[in-house]
Amino acid sequence: MSQGASAEAKAQEARDVDVTAAGRGVWLVKVPKYLSERWEKLQGNGDVGKLRITRSNSKMGPQKPDVVFTSTDAVMNQPGTAPSIPRTHKFALTGVSNQNLVVFSQPHGSEQITIEGKVIQRAECHPVADDKYMQLKRKQLEINNKPKREIVLLQSVVPMYKPRSDHISNIEEKKRNKDTEKRSRLDKEKVMDMLFAAFEKHQYYNVKDLVGITKQPIPYLKEILQEICVYNMKAPHKNMWELKPEFRHYKQSETS
């Protein structure tokens, strides 16, 4: 069984669930990212803030309570966190309608699952638009609008930017062009004369040596070699060219 299949089978195993707190009512609150990041950095199980719930005494009928959340000093004064965040937030309450939402928990490294309660209220946590909140938004806009690349004026010569008379890539390209110019096609008879002169000195040549002697493109040179030479496929002169029998010692035959 593969690792993925075993993990899926383990997740589907029947387990005991602690339902002691199943009847407890809990609130499901959506908080800003900067606030949740502060909470995650807190160590231990300390308080993150206090709620103040004010109910309306209006005669116009039932109204939603006014809920204000205030962060603790432990959240506000975390070292290495900038910029400062708003301390006070308001809850915008919404109902759960016909949804049945339950909160589960599972401690890290444990397989025990616990029902923490049933959601009886949903809310969104919004910051109060005070000076600190405006400073936070201004800082976020500056970070988001900051260009990823900037032009920096160099005050001194940096070795990696030192100018060169020519780059390696350009030198290699010029060399290739020069070799190509040297290997421009010559007249067929001139190439054959060079080949015959070479084979008077040695009986066997590989194509690389013949290219160096004639300075001709390989495809063009091979066309001529196939007319006057034989390509050896077996040792001891494997992959080498030699003149066909009718062209060997051709000067002696012309003298006779």
**Euclidean distance between CA atoms 13 and 8, whole angstroms:** 9
pTM over 0.75? The answer is no
Domains located in the chain, CATH noted: 9-145 (no CATH), 177-255 (1.10.10.10)
- DSSP per-residue codes, 209-232: HHHHHH---HHHHHHHHHHHEEE-
182 or 158: which leads in pLDDT: 158
**Euclidean distance between CA atoms 170 and 155, whole angstroms:** 29
78 or 236: which leads in pLDDT: 236
Report the amino acid identity of residue 144: N
Confidence tier at 253 by pLDDT (50, 70, 90): very low
Distances (CA, A) of 96 to 84, 90, 93, 155: 33, 19, 10, 63
Q: Where are the alpha helices (DSSP H) in 28-153?
A: 33-41, 73-76, 131-145
**Euclidean distance between CA atoms 18 and 116, whole angstroms:** 9
Residue-wise pLDDT for 3-18, tens only, equals 556 666 666 677 788 8
What is the per-residue pLDDT for 193? 93
What is the per-residue pLDDT for 251? 47
> Cβ contacts of residue 68 below 8 Å, gap of 6+?
51, 52, 54, 88, 89, 90, 91
Residue-wise pLDDT for 119-176, tens only, equals 999 999 998 877 777 887 888 788 888 888 888 888 887 666 556 666 777 777 777 7
Residue-wise pLDDT for 38-72, tens only, equals 888 887 777 889 999 998 766 666 677 899 999 99
Lowest mean pLDDT among 148-157, 167-176, 196-205, 222-231: 167-176
